Amino acid sequence: MSLPNASIKVTHFIIGGFDTVKRPIAVGVVMLIIYLLAVIANVLNILFIIFDKRLHKPMYILICNLAVVDILYCCGTTPTMIGVLLAGVNTISYVECFIQMSVFHLVGVMELFALAIMAFDRLIAFSFPFQYHSYLTNTRTLVVTYILWVVASGFVAVMPVTAATLPYCTSRMKYAFCDYAAVIRTTCVDPNYYFNLVSVMMFFLLFFTFSFIGLSYFVIAFLMKFSSNRDKKKMASTCVSHLIVVTCYYSPLFVLIVFTRVGVVLTLEERQGLLIGTILSPSLVNPVVYSFILVGSCSGHQG
């Protein structure tokens, strides 16, 4: 229910998500180190793929896309949190907040899509090993990736559009940065309708992509039974890496989205910890995991 008479004009939001943190400097330093390592590792992977023409193949294009997603994921929100913890800068302008919210949710959806399309790539590679390069060309991979970015943008556009039309009753946020839930809770309306709207959308995206990845690996596991030991090792090397990345991203999301929807109550600190975990953990783990594949591929070419 809206309360337009109590609404205020908001030009800045106050970030209050770290008010209860006992050691903000220590937490900020840890986040800064993880942030720098994640950005450097992802940038190195991208440069590695760009400058080595032997890696200009669909699988490495998808790894490069994932690295771009991870860079945007951590760069979109982490500097704000580090600024609050280390410099005490706990305000963000209205426009910057909406940009941050849009980028955060866009790359969150793209992370799901990126992991799903990478599973599809492995499925095609193992199902049709001789036709793989004719089925998945570099051009087709780039086109599909572009389409996924457009589709993700379409899903996420719902959030800033709905939030921008609502009256605001406070400029103070309880959360660590601007996401949809944080912005909606500053408005004068009952947030449940808007939370349910986004929950349905995210539930669909989360389970569709996860089910697709699970089905892909079910087929791959079936194909491995009829493969030689050498092929099994090759399958395992790429599949295990992808499964580590999938587990790292989906685990906190399942806890945060699914468990809370079925009545599991999380404290504000636990919710924020899981949310930050979905940002920093994959952004750091993904490039480290895939760097071994890149190095192994180059070693294989040299051999």
Residue pLDDT, tens place only, 61-78: 999 999 999 999 999 999
CB of 86 closer than 8 Å to CB of 26: no
Neighbours of 163 (CB within 10 A): 21
Helix (H) or strand (E) holding 98: helix 94-127
Is 145 inside a domain boundary? yes
CB of 260 closer than 8 Å to CB of 266: yes
Is 169 inside a domain boundary? yes
Token representation of residue 175:
């959360």
Is 3 inside a domain boundary? no
Is 1 inside a domain boundary? no
Q: Let me know the angle formed at the C-alpha of 149 by 146 and 152, rounded to the nearest 5 degrees.
A: 150
Is 77 inside a domain boundary? yes
Residue bearing tokens 């942030």: 35
* Domain, as residue range, for 216: 12-295
- pLDDT tens-place string over residues 229-282: 666 676 677 788 888 889 888 888 777 766 666 666 677 777 788 888 888 888
Please give the Cα distance from 217 to 230 (Å, whole number).
18
Residues, the chain, total? Answer: 303
Number of domains present in the structure of the chain: 1
> Is pLDDT of 113 > 90?
yes
Closest to 4 measured CA to CA, from 212, 155, 178, 165: 165
CATH of the domain at 173: 1.20.1070.10
- pLDDT tens-place string over residues 180-231: 989 999 999 988 889 888 888 888 898 899 999 999 989 888 877 776 666 6
DSSP states along 119-180: HHHHHHHHHSTTTHHHHS-HHHHHHHHHHHHHHHHHHHTHHHHHHHTS-BS-SEESSSS--H
CB of 15 closer than 8 Å to CB of 80: yes
Is 173 inside a domain boundary? yes
Is 300 inside a domain boundary? no
